[in-house]
Amino acid sequence: MDSFAQLFSGFSAVLQGHNLFYLFLGCLAGTLVGVLPGIGPAAGIGLLLPITFGMDPTSALIMLAGMYYGAMYGGSTTAILINTPGEASSVMTALDGYQMARQGRAGTALAIAAISSFVAGTIGVLLLSLLATPLSEFALRFGPPEYFALMIFALSTVNSLTGGASLKGMLAIVLGLMVATVGADLQTGQPRFTFGFGGLQEGVDFVIVVIGLFAIGEVLVSLEGMVKGQTQIMSIKGRRWLSGRELRESLPPMLRGGLLGFFLGVLPGVGATVSSIAAYIAEKKLSKTPQEFGQGSIRGVAGPEAANNACTAGAMVPLLSLGIAGNSSTAVLMGAFIMFGIQPGPLLFQQRPEVVWGLINSMYLGNLMLLVLNLPLVGLFARLLRTPQGILMPLILAVSAVGAYSLNGSVFDVWIAFGFGILGYLFRKLEIPVAPLVLSLVLGRQLEQSFRQSMTMSGFEFSILVGSPVSATLLAMAAVSILTPVVVRLFRRTRRTILA
């Protein structure tokens, strides 16, 4: 009941004129980021961060969160109109959405994508409102060993979901932890890995890393792969709404996708892409006419779109309640919280309830705003697809430099972003996942602090890390998630050898 009281009181913050304006800006920017290829929500949030300096933290976080879930709406536009998902999470939408467009039903496909996103997004935010407070109250009992175990578990699940690249994922995680050690040691004040550069004394700013890895790195790869020749963009024919029959047909997938997406989103490492794939597979299995999937089935659009939007709300649960980011976008959001001097986690609900509930309530209104934006303005967004990549990509590089410079007015930061841009490009070439590095960078300092506090409490006895049921369980789960892919691979190899 306390959650509901705070929920309603939080609306008073969101409904202020300036916060509504920032919410609109964030949703619009997010939709644009989702529509335009070459830049994702993590990079978009990173590029928007420098201009939020000096803003009220609640307003800034409302705008940044708006970009996060706005990008999910925008990604479906390109998936449907040019068979190229604007975001990885819209890859399943392209399967049936593009077929619907080819059948002259692009307007219907875009409408169902927007409505599914709205319904599921609202379901997700409602569940977030109900679950966040109890989870944060449970987490208040956590001490340094439990936090250490929780972060190890979060990093392990992210790694296990890199599929066959778990060793490369481990490499990325450890690199992120290494970058997090750069700067003055918090306990002793000793400079570590600064090499005499004053600009590294405070450590490497994670915004710089995000700009380099996601914006510069992605653009370099996009420039290499720029498609020569024309891309056919489907025109938006037909009505931009649904018939009664179509709405009835898509309602169950919306609800199922919303619930599935939300609960998958709560798990660290499960992004919107995995959620939308799971929802598509589930709908296909439940359908009495599975052969229609891939041929323009409305359920093939409704389910995945619902899942990828509900997932964004689910991902906010561990972020706000536990201070754990489960994907790259929430990792950047977490960095934004820290930048404003706000530590996400269980104490957040007690110390800064106006920030938390303002943010959660903004998501209700943000979903409504996005529905209003996307349906009438989809034609305008579709026109943006005609922006030549040869103009767009250089501008994104320039925006990256601006963003990095304007953080501290220092060209040293631009060089750091440039260096991480090279790293991001090499990661993509070597097929090393980038998201684990960002996650471990954001969690790195906390992980070290939890570890050192635990060792101080126990006099350097490692047994304290498995001393409580919570920490022992979390570390056991981490071990299972790390070892399972290894065991499965060994089993398959042995079976192949025996059968050969």
Partner 1 sequence: MNTHRVAGAGGLLLGLAYLYFTAQIPAEGVTDAVGARSYPYIIGSILIVAAGALLFSRGDASTATEESSDAGKGEGLLQRFGLAAAVLLVTAIYIALLEPLGFVLSTTLYTLGLMSYFHRGHWFANVASSAGFSVISYIALVKLLGASLPAGLLAF
Binding track over 414-443 against partner 1, x by CB under 8 A: xx--x--xx--x---xxxx-----------
User: Based on CB atoms, which residue is closest to partner 1, 102 or 192?
Assistant: 192
Closest CA to 473 of 206, 5, 152: 152
- Our finding on whether 168 is near partner 1 (CB under 8 A) is yes
C-alpha dist (Å) from residue 411 to 52, 137, 405, 416, 455: 20, 44, 6, 9, 39
Burial (Cβ within 10 Å: 0-12, 13-18, ≥19) of residue 494: exposed
Per the structure block, which two tokens stand in for 365? 């209104």
The distance of closest approach from Cβ of residue 343 to partner 1 in the complex, given in angstroms and rounded to an integer, is 20
Q: Hey, which residues between 451 and 490 contact partner 1 (CB under 8 A)?
A: 451-452, 455-456, 459-460
Binding partner 1 (rule: CB under 8 A), the pick from 126, 170, 277, 281 is 170
Distance CA 30, CA 75 (A): 9
Number of residues that bind partner 1 (CB under 8 A): 56
What residues numbered 372-391 form the site for partner 1, per CB under 8 A?
388-391
Taking the complex as a whole, how short is the minimal distance between the CB of residue 155 and partner 1, in angstroms? 11
Q: Is 340 in the site for partner 1 (CB under 8 A)?
A: no
43-82 residues in contact with partner 1 (CB under 8 A) are: 50-51, 54
| Burial per residue of 28-62, b for 16 or more beta-carbon CB atoms within 10 angstroms, e otherwise | bbbbbbbbbbbbbbbbbbbbbbbebeeebbbbbbb
Rg of the chain (C-alpha set): 22
Residue where the block lists tokens 């309640």: 321
Query: Cβ-count burial of 282 within 10 angstroms (0-12 exposed, 13-18 middle, 19+ buried)?
Result: middle
The verdict on 226 binding partner 1 (CB under 8 A) reads yes
For residue 260, the minimal CB distance to partner 1 (Å) is 32
Q: Is there a contact between 390 and 126 (Cβ–Cβ < 8 Å)? A: no
Residue number, 140 or 426, with CB nearest to partner 1: 426
Q: Is 224 in the site for partner 1 (CB under 8 A)?
A: yes
Name which of 134 and 164 has its Cβ closer to partner 1.
164
Residues within window 108-167 making contact with partner 1, judged by CB under 8 A: 167
CB of 400 to partner 1, least distance (A): 9
User: Is residue 317 part of the contact set for partner 1 (CB under 8 A)?
Assistant: no
User: Which of 61, 171, 242, 359: binder of partner 1 (CB under 8 A)?
Assistant: 171
36 sits near partner 1 (criterion: CB under 8 A): no
Taking the complex as a whole, the smallest distance from the CB of residue 423 to partner 1 amounts, in Å, to 10
Q: How far is the CB of 333 from partner 1 (least distance, A)?
A: 21
Comparing C-alpha atoms, which of 161, 92, 478, 464 is closest to residue 328? 161
Q: Which stretch binds partner 1 (CB under 8 A): 37-45, 114-122, 367-375, 413-421?
A: 413-421
Does residue 495 interact with partner 1 by CB under 8 A?
no
- The C-alpha atoms of residue 171 and residue 31 are separated, in whole angstroms, by 33
In the beta sheet, which residues pair with residue 192? 183
Question: C-alpha distances in angstroms, 155 versus 98, 203, 270, 337, 483?
Answer: 36, 21, 12, 20, 14
Count CB neighbours of 124 within 10 A. Answer: 31
Q: Is 264 in contact with 313 (CB distance < 8 Å)?
A: no
Q: Which of residues 390-409 bind partner 1 (CB under 8 A)?
A: 390-391, 393-395, 397-399, 401-402, 405-406, 409
The rounded distance, in Å, linking the Cα atoms of 306 and 320 is 22
> Which residues ranging from 176 to 195 are in contact with partner 1 (CB under 8 A)?
177-178, 181, 185, 187-188, 190, 192-193
In eight-state DSSP terms, residue 226 is P
Binding site residues, partner 1, CB under 8 A: 50-51, 54, 167-168, 170-171, 174-175, 177-178, 181, 185, 187-188, 190, 192-193, 216, 220, 223-224, 226, 388-391, 393-395, 397-399, 401-402, 405-406, 409, 411, 414-415, 418, 421-422, 425, 429-432, 448, 451-452, 455-456, 459-460
